[in-house]
A and B are shown apart, each in its own frame.
Chain A
Amino acid sequence: MLSLVLRRVLAAVPALLGLALAAAVVAALAGPGWAPALGAALAALPATLALVLPALALGTGFGALLGVMGGVGAVLGGVGPAMPGFLLAAVFAASLAKAPVLLGLAALALPAAAQAATLADRARAGAEDTVLLAARGRGMDGSALLWRLALPLGLSAAMGGLRSAVAGTVAAAVVVESLFGSGFSGAGRLFVEAARAGDTGMAVAALAGLCGLAVLLGALGGALHGWIDPRARMA
């Protein structure tokens, strides 16, 4: 597992360096100079990570479970495309003023869960006449079939869609941080404020930071996917 993580993260290093370099050049040319811009962006990233990571983890996990079990999962997956994270964030921000942290998390986790549910449901349906039927033929059934076979298969499928989920969640996190007021002061907020002020260097640095976050999370997700599904280790 550890070597898998290392391999994935190392593979992402060139992309991260490229992003940092691009941001530094823009910040040096247009904005406050490369050091303060990159410094501010890096300092703001942990807050965004604290929002994005639990949302993705909870969303993907529960989504995959619901998707494999059908029923609620199928409904969740079905309405998923109608509720992108930024729209949920706006609806929550407008209608409910309380508990913004939890709501922010929910706005990010729900779309991730919906996507995971769709993928897991599709994987289970696809395995029904192959892997699952073969296991039933060998006498496996009931909860063993669900927990030992169907859920790992669904989880693996959900992890396969993690790259796009990460991208969507990071983009939505920007809206959450911007709309939910003082509770959040991450890179997303920095990005929006810099963009509104026309501060090119700072905005580009913050965006590069967010992209780097997505790359890193994608790499970690890939490693986790490989841990669950040996077929994904090669890719």
Chain B
Amino acid sequence: MSGSGERAPLRVEGLSLLTSRDILLDRLSFAVEPGEVLALSGGAGAGKTLLLRALAGLAPKGVTVLGDIRIQGRRILVTQDGALDPLRPLGAQFTDLLAHQSGLDERTALRRAAEALERFQVPAAARRLALHPHELGEAMRWRAALALAMAAQPALLLADAPAAALDPTQRVRLLNDLAAWTREAGTALLLAGRPQPDPVHSGLADRRLILAQGRLEAPEEEPTPAPSPVEPAPSGPPILSVRDLRVAFPLGRSWRGEERWLTVVDGLSIALAEGETLALLGETGSGKSVLARAILRLVPPVGGQVSWLGTDLAAAPPEAMRRARRDLQILFPDPLAAFDPLMTIGAQLAETLESLRPTRSAADQAAWLAEALEEVGLPSAVLDLYPGSLRPAEAARAGLARALLPEPRLLVCDEPAAMLDGAERGDFLALLRAIRRRRRLALLYATQDAAEGLGVARRALVLLLGRIVEAADSAVLAAGARHPYSRALIAAARLARPALHGDPPSPLRPPTGCALRLRCPLAHDGCAQVPPSLDTVAPGHRVACHVAHDDAQDGAQVGGRAP
């Protein structure tokens, strides 16, 4: 497993980490060569952070480090939060590090700082050096943290799941830029991260180690997930129809007394037939989550219509709304937080049942609850537990059981697997798919992971700033998305470098014309004029993009021009 060169910046032999009670890491041996990108994968709690801290010589108190860690040259650890000094401007932090460690004078240090930021495509880098970390966006802060680490020209860079909380298009681009730079500079990069997808497959990493139960495992060939059996496209009249839905939040009045609104969902229309599955793909601020909640009237819309089986939900009287809630259920992104911590799971399931299916007798009810848990693979003992005693994977299943209790016909999922990792995530999604098929549920699945959304649903909508930018069958999108934003999302899902640059525009001040134009590699002057309309480019395939429209008119093939 270990490399052969004597000059490996990092060579680990028989490294074990122990506490007085446990063996945390068990006799790890590996090496990283100069210019190599070694991915370290493992689920939550696998010990990635601990290993990186030990390699940086910063093992937590009470942890004994045994074995041999040999490091040639300077090592830098970029911690999980990539924290910068909150009190000083970026420039001062660069000069501090470069003067302290490399003995550079201030001007050279500042020049190198600006160059380092430019490697991550930071525009007007020199001016950013005067800013404090809290004045930067999250993505910019990560670029600064990684630029700061690389500016010090380390021989070994230990990066602990950098930018994990960023949107995929930004995170994956940042990781690819980082890997390109470390390869060029001959820096050995140890990149910790989530187990999926495989970073070697996309070329992000050269090699991959998997950390599980405190040991290193050789990566297995991942079985490509079997494509879900193609179902006939559901037909029939739509059961759910959303027309021109608008959700906006008041921001108070400006100094001139005008009402200011933050528009989150901007005139969306959806139709869903019985048993149909639809993915809502989009990142932070796309409006997917608010749309999901507005459909269930958990967030009040300011305009448009949501009708369920012909009933307008906005105008529905309480009794009709309750009947509709039987049919419309939701999975929340943090299933644990969606349970009241003071009530047992059983009591909360029973409460849902009493509220939505009050006809059941008590004995009947108990059997029903046990059955519901069995369906999601939980023992009935879970009924007596409080949410605080559940693991995340169990909470996700309990949340699914609660949603299924009233026998819904539509399940709205708002990133239901966001808290799960690795095998747990895969198992949960498989369960969700199996139950959906068995019960013939209609599914609305909001996610920022394009691969997950396209795998779960037959059709997909790509959302950007509260509008649909592309709508097509999942297979069509996976094979050849037309909109640059869709392509970026799909690329990011397999860790390939997305072609979008810069940061998403603020929803408070969206750009004129196309919402993507400031990040889009294909944007031309016309894109700033009018927002593109959602036009049909092929049967069942609609795109809102000026460039894609032109391509379609020129007779370009599906897939279009490579970004």
Contact = CB atoms under 8 A, between A and B. Distances in A.
Interface of A: 130-131, 133-140, 144, 148-149, 152-153, 156, 228-231
Interface in B99-150: 100-101, 132, 134-135, 145, 148-149
Contact of A131 (B83, B96, B135): B83
Contact of B79 (A137, A140, A144): A137
Contact of B83 (A130, A148, A230): A130
A135 B58 CA distance: 11
Interface residues of B, number: 27
Contacts of B81: 130, 134
A144 B56 CA distance: 18
A158 to B, nearest CB: 13
Residue among B58, B77, B87, B97 having the largest count of chain A Cβ atoms under 10 Å: B87
Contact of B87 (A136, A140, A230): A230
A229 B87 contact: yes
A175 B337 CA distance: 49
Given A148-B96, A230-B134, A134 B87 contact: no
Given A130-B83, A229-B87, A138 B148 contact: yes
Residue among A134, A140, A229 having the largest count of chain B Cβ atoms under 10 Å: A134
B87 A156 contact: yes
Given A137-B56, A137-B58, A137-B78, 6 more contacts: A130-B81, A133-B53, A134-B79, A135-B85, A153-B87, A230-B132
The main secondary structure of chain A at its interface with chain B is helix
B116 to A, nearest CB: 13
25 contacts: A130-B79, A130-B81, A130-B83, A133-B53, A133-B83, A134-B77, A134-B79, A134-B145, A135-B85, A136-B58, A136-B77, A137-B79, A138-B97, A138-B149, A138-B152, A139-B74, A139-B76, A139-B97, A139-B100, A139-B101, A140-B97, A140-B100, A144-B100, A228-B87, A229-B86
B65 interface: no
B82 interface: yes
B435 interface: no
Contacts of A140: 97, 100
Interface in B16-70: 53, 56, 58
Contacts of A149: 85
Contacts of B58: 133, 136-137
Contacts of A228: 87
B84 interface: yes
Contacts of B87: 152-153, 156, 228-230
A148 B435 CA distance: 57
B89 to A, nearest CB: 8
Contacts of A152: 87
Contacts of B77: 134, 136-138
Contacts of B79: 130, 133-134, 137
Nearest to B160: A137
A173 B83 CA distance: 41
Given A144-B100, A230-B132, A231-B134, A138 B76 contact: yes
A192 B96 CA distance: 53
Contact of B76 (A137, A148, A156): A137
Contacts of A134: 77-79, 81-84, 145
Contacts of B158: 137
Given A137-B78, A144-B100, A231 B86 contact: yes
Contacts of A144: 100
A36 B433 CA distance: 83
Nearest to B92: A148
A131 B86 contact: yes
A131 B85 contact: yes
A134 B97 CA distance: 12
Nearest to B158: A137
Nearest to B97: A138
A134 B141 CA distance: 13
Contacts of A135: 85
Residue among A130, A138, A153, A228 having the largest count of chain B Cβ atoms under 10 Å: A138
A134 B53 CA distance: 10
Contacts of B86: 131, 153, 229-231
A139 B156 CA distance: 12
A228 B152 CA distance: 27
Nearest to B132: A230
Nearest to B145: A134
Nearest to B74: A139
Nearest to A149: B85
A138 B77 CA distance: 6
A183 to B, nearest CB: 40
A140 B57 CA distance: 12
A189 B74 CA distance: 63
B152 A139 contact: yes
Residue among A135, A144, A152 having the largest count of chain B Cβ atoms under 10 Å: A135
Q: Closest 4 CB pairs between A and B?
A: A137-B77, A134-B83, A230-B132, A134-B79
A148 B85 CA distance: 10
B63 to A, nearest CB: 14
Nearest to B159: A137
Residue among B53, B79, B96, B101 having the largest count of chain A Cβ atoms under 10 Å: B79
Contacts of B134: 230-231
Nearest to A130: B83
A230 B84 CA distance: 13
A230 to B, nearest CB: 4
A71 B548 CA distance: 66
